[in-house]
Structure 1
Amino acid sequence: MSNVVEIDGRRAAYRAGKITITESMSIPWVMRNHAHDRAEQIVFERKSSINTWVPVTWRQFYAEVRALARGLLALGVEPNDHIAIMSHSRYEFALFDQATWAVGAQLIPIYETDSTDQARWIVKDSQCRMAIAETPQIRDVLAPLLPELDHFEAIHVVEENAVEKISAKGSLALDPEIDRRIDATTADDLATIIYTSGTTGLPKGARLTHRNLLHVAINGPLDDGLSRIIGGMQRSLLALPMAHVFARFICLMSMYSGNVTGFAPDAKNLVSDVQSFRPTYILAVPRIFEKIYNAADAKAGKGLKLKLFRHFAKVAIEYSRALDKPGGPSLALKAEHRLGERLVYSSIRSILGGNLRNSISGGAPLGARLGHFFRGVGINVYEGYGLTETSAPTSVNTPHFMRIGSVGPAYPGCYVSVDDDGEILGKGDHIFVGYNNNSEATAAAFTEDGWFRTGDLGEIDDDGFIFITGRKKELIVTAGGKNVAPAVLEDRLRGHPLISQVVVVGDQKPFIGALVTLDSEMLPGWLRNHGLPEMSASEASEDPQVLAAIDRAIKRANDSVSRAESIRKFRILPIDFTVANGYMTPSMKVKRASVIRDFNEEIERIYAAG
């Protein structure tokens, strides 16, 4: 069945959604109705101090939302006020999100790993009135902004009982005002601003409305195919940072669809949290699936057991690939797969709690090999695609429409097309309304006929499956789904006397790395000043003291960015980039694509040790 239509004179992938968001609908309006209709249904499970999962019903959750909303009113929070939040994913994040919407304000997320400089830009650009910090340490990151910014008044700390302290300030007399504000909020009112890194180094604030977020949160669970994965009475463990649009969308979608959601804020505890929570599905970035695979590999141990695991991992991949071929797996492959089920696959599923059968991957390309491995062991990973500006999903594979290697057909109610230059375009109620205080960037983000430019290159086949073939932008997206603007680090490092050029790498990789070239003119003086003999740039690229100096420079540059954006490993190249050798333009800009292509072997060495 084809999922291709014609719209605006363009060929586009499209699947109809079941619900059109009306003007009177908003997130707090929907959640108030759910709390009334599903009062005794469990909506969350919280992790206790003794690592057990404690159920929270809609009645309990919404009572806490209302109490916190009263407290925010008592603090003087007005409609359209902005409140920053800097926290890992946790129950209190969802609580503050709903309470802030209930009083007509907006929660502006900041990654918990961001530096003071990064937080300063977001708090200033979005004019945040106050902030919610998860820990005293995170409060210390935000504290320097209090005397600097007149509009920034206070920081409340979750782990210092911020919820209880704020809630205690309110009174039941404020309830009518909460309901008035909920009723006054419309679908096209602003819901949040999520900052996404740009090539200039300063993040751009994507303005998302209630219509944007409700469109994707409601139409997914109602889709005939997706409902088999994320329909009601499922259990989902949220392991992504809530500052990421994908996690925010997942939380809202799970609440709407009647699922139970748990939070796994620490990646180090992910496997144990999955085992104890026992999810039926997870939505995650590829890095999490890589961690799961690595955990299974590590659990196999050494010697014969390890060889056995790796052999049947290959069998799983071959079996899954054969499912997509005419005739399916051979009898011999089926028999070997059954043996793998008894010896290996069932134990892998037990690592994941035993109930996990479906998952959705987004944020970065998953890779066909991982997709086939998990399907081969009995866990379907449905790859999707989207950006902050598309409210997370714009396409996704489903049980009804699946093609491993693609990012699926269009998400319900979303249009996806390809421009003449190969750029993926999007249109629909999920597309953001523009960048905060940046009309120039907003205008550049859309075509003349109103389609959003994703910056990614791709193609759409005759059945409406979308394939991403590359990135039009220089923006790096790590395997963990983190957007990284290379210019921030490159500009800082080029100021070091030893360094001529830097190319930050890490697209679809587990961490950020860098290729560095030495300044041959500055090198002799630096060597003399450090009591070192003369040497060529090629020799210096392997000298321990030169390597240590570059390492110190990188560590200093890393102070300006979050840990996820920081350079973990680097390689010094034996040559410099010049116009003569074709690695720089006449205007002295590095030809990034040429460098990455010709020095791919050096890049792979950065990641060779994992």
Structure 2
Amino acid sequence: MKSNPNITRVFDLLPNCVLAVNKDDTFASKVKGEWKKYSATEVIEIVNQVSIGLIKLGVKKDDKIALISNNRPEWNFIELGVQQLGAVLVPMYPTITIEDYRYIFTDAEVKLVFVSDKALLAKVLEATSVLTGIEGIYTFDKTKEAKHWTELLDSSKGEDFAQIEPFKAAVQPDDLLTLIYTSGTTGKPKGVMLTHDNIVSNIDGLVIGKHLELCSDDKALSFLPLCHIYERTDVYVYMYYGVSVYYAESMETIADNLKDVKPQVFATVPRLLEKVYDKIVAKGYELSGIKKQLFFWALNLGLKYDPMKDMGWWYDTQLKIARKLIFSKWKEALGGNIKIIASGSAALQARLSRVFWAAEIPIAEGYGLTETSPVVSSSILSDFRVGCVGTVLPNLQVKIAEDGEICVKGPSVMKGYYKKPEATAEAIDADGWFHTGDIGEFFEGRYLKITDRKKEIFKTSGGKYVAPQVIENKLKEAVLIEQAIVVGEGQKFPSALIVPEFNALKEWCSRNEISYTNPEQIIKNQKVKDKLDEVVKDLMKNIAQYEQVKKVELLPKLFTIESGELTPTLKLKRKIIHNNYKNLIEGMYN
């Protein structure tokens, strides 16, 4: 099942798609306040120059090249140049620890390292100070402490690009393309081995299944880390369709970049959509009189919307008015041209799906893992169910095991874990089924629904199993709650540690004439504690009795990647959080 028989390796996208469309803005990034655009021919020339430069450095097939950077065109130039030689890219998060860098450099036997800036260079230099085998470190930003990546381009001047062809010809679809180290929530990172065929087949599944219908006139804004296969495969899909890729300057500039670029598509995670929604609602609270009434009338109307159902004449009439008066401003804030937002990496609250669709901002929720390159299922805009993660890609098989675990088989399932045959055998059974560790079911026989992580489900002292993610997502529906972790293994009932949304809490305190000092002090205020208890109690009304959160403790600061309490993909590291707040948790049961 091929969408384009000429594309069997990822770098085949360059001549068959990128050059075929031949846009002036294949890639773009902001440099000194202006968008620097690279045409299709410029992209291919730079990629070839990178390949030549690497050949001159002695890079051979299967050599490992590390890349640690924010999203920018240089990321693509290096990785595509590496691909053409049959070498293997090892991308890493800029946010991981020096110890993790050192472990990955050693485990992957990295030969060269590319980093974006001086701060990351300092971490890499410390990590590599006791290592042998690293033959060179290059930066994208100019600094005196390392070589600049353009030295590769300079060394290729006057060279014949034809010398790259034998390298490209030697790359087979089943050859290793990349090693992606998954942080996981426990233990040392594992290197996921993905081949060209793994990723090309995932592109095929998305294209043939019409999960992302785009065209060459479209623009995409990219801001999720390219080191994660989710954003990386999305960029390959953009390249397939000839979509221009504009890279956001940083996570802090996304709002401005959306208004500037006016993209038709971008990929995101639910956490960012939650923040967008919370900011919108916070602004709604700042309104007064008829404007405030209209805002919350429209919001409540949107929260009931189902794009796959006939909502009736009266509802549709009201929604038309709400869209004109209120929701049009939401669309404008995202650039005004959105055709599709891809949401993945975690469960999207159903209310967010409903309200954004009501605002004519279509969100396609999907599901996948690094080990599946990554997409397993994705919503088709004309055929999906709110609360589900879409339908399975046409070139994959999915079954639900007896214990509820989702198992996947197909061409996009990884080759295995690098140097870890036992872990590979544990993940992929003798019949070729990859065991995801996620619990799920098929709704109406075809729409995949994720209910929890297999290893995160816990049992209360009453013998009842509790799926914490479902309850945590319910808690985060509250405007006053930003983060939550549900605990209660072996206890009589579940409890929760909650981080309030402090901007919304500050606004609530102002309306209720409560003096707001700082997070540490305000969470001790009895009226605030009573309010959060009331919010949680209300949210638990439709949750089974044995799953209901009975006690909560408020925390003054967010769980973060830096504190070690979140993975780079923003998943809770439950064991670390449990250990950090052991006394607080025990206090809820004493």
The answer as to 2:540 corresponding to 1:558 is no
The answer as to 2:420 corresponding to 1:410 is no
Q: Tell me the equivalent position of 1:498.
A: none
SS of equivalent to 1:379: coil
Choose from 302, 312, 320 the match for 2:287: 302
The answer as to 2:170 corresponding to 1:184 is yes
Structure 2 contact 565–577 (Cα < 8 Å) conserved: no
Choose from 193, 203, 209 the match for 2:189: 203
Could you list the structure 1 runs, at least 4 aligned residues long, displaced by more than 4 angstroms after superposition.
Answer: 503-517, 554-557, 559-575
SS of equivalent to 2:15: helix
Choose from 443, 455, 466 the match for 2:448: 466
Choose from 251, 256, 264 the match for 2:248: 264
Choose from 29, 47, 53 the match for 2:12: 29
CA pair 147-561 structure 1, distance change in 2 beyond 3 A: farther
AA of the residue aligned to 2:239: M
Choose from 222, 225, 228 the match for 1:238: 222
The answer as to 2:121 corresponding to 1:139 is yes
AA of the residue aligned to 1:269: T
More deviation in 28-37 or 160-169? Answer: 28-37
CA RMSD after TM alignment:
3.4
Distance 1:366 1:507 in 2: 12
SS of equivalent to 1:558: coil
SS of equivalent to 2:75: helix
Q: Tell me the equivalent position of 1:532.
A: none
The answer as to 2:99 corresponding to 1:114 is no
Q: Tell me the equivalent position of 2:236.
A: 252
CA pair 403-71 structure 1, distance change in 2 beyond 3 A: same
Segments of structure 1 that go 5 or more residues without pairing to the other structure are 1-16, 477-502, 518-541, 543-549, 578-597, 603-610
SS of equivalent to 1:417: strand
Q: Deviations over 1:286-325 (max 9, x none)?
A: 122123223333444333444432331111122x23x544
AA of the residue aligned to 1:178: I
Q: Tell me the equivalent position of 2:413.
A: 431
Structure 1 contact 394–411 (Cα < 8 Å) conserved: yes
Q: Tell me the equivalent position of 1:360.
A: 342
SS of equivalent to 1:270: helix
Distance 1:354 1:461 in 2: 33
Choose from 30, 50, 53 the match for 1:47: 30
Choose from 364, 368, 377 the match for 1:395: 377
Choose from 438, 447, 452 the match for 2:434: 452
Q: TM-score, normalised by structure 2?
A: 0.77
Tell me by how many angstroms 1:557 deviates: 9.2
Tell me by how many angstroms 1:504 deviates: 13
Structure 2 contact 298–326 (Cα < 8 Å) conserved: yes
Distance 1:455 1:559 in 2: 22
Distance 2:313 2:414 in 1: 50
The answer as to 2:199 corresponding to 1:194 is no
Distance 1:185 1:117 in 2: 33
CA pair 103-456 structure 1, distance change in 2 beyond 3 A: same
The answer as to 2:446 corresponding to 1:441 is no
Q: Deviations over 1:113-161 (max 9, x none)?
A: 1110111111111111121111110011111233322112222111118
More deviation in 365-374 or 352-361? Answer: 352-361
CA pair 314-452 structure 1, distance change in 2 beyond 3 A: same
Tell me by how many angstroms 1:173 deviates: 3.0
Distance 1:430 1:463 in 2: 23
Structure 2 contact 13–239 (Cα < 8 Å) conserved: no
AA of the residue aligned to 2:31: S
Tell me by how many angstroms 1:176 deviates: 2.7
SS of equivalent to 2:110: coil
Structure 1 contact 80–106 (Cα < 8 Å) conserved: yes
Question: How many residues align structurally?
Answer: 499
AA of the residue aligned to 2:197: R
Structure 1 contact 504–512 (Cα < 8 Å) conserved: no
CA pair 512-469 structure 1, distance change in 2 beyond 3 A: closer
AA of the residue aligned to 2:137: I
Tell me by how many angstroms 1:265 deviates: 4.7
Q: Deviations over 1:10-68 (max 9, x none)?
A: xxxxxxx553878x821223323435433345422222311x43432211111111112
Structure 1 contact 384–407 (Cα < 8 Å) conserved: yes
CA pair 180-60 structure 1, distance change in 2 beyond 3 A: same
Structure 1 contact 241–265 (Cα < 8 Å) conserved: no
Q: TM-score, normalised by structure 1?
A: 0.75
- Which structure carries more relative contact order (alpha carbon 8 Å, separation 6+)? 1
Q: Deviations over 1:485-533 (max 9, x none)?
A: xxxxxxxxxxxxxxxxxx999976766869799xxxxxxxxxxxxxxxx
Segments of structure 2 that go 5 or more residues without pairing to the other structure are 459-467, 477-481, 490-523, 525-554
Structure 2 contact 560–566 (Cα < 8 Å) conserved: no
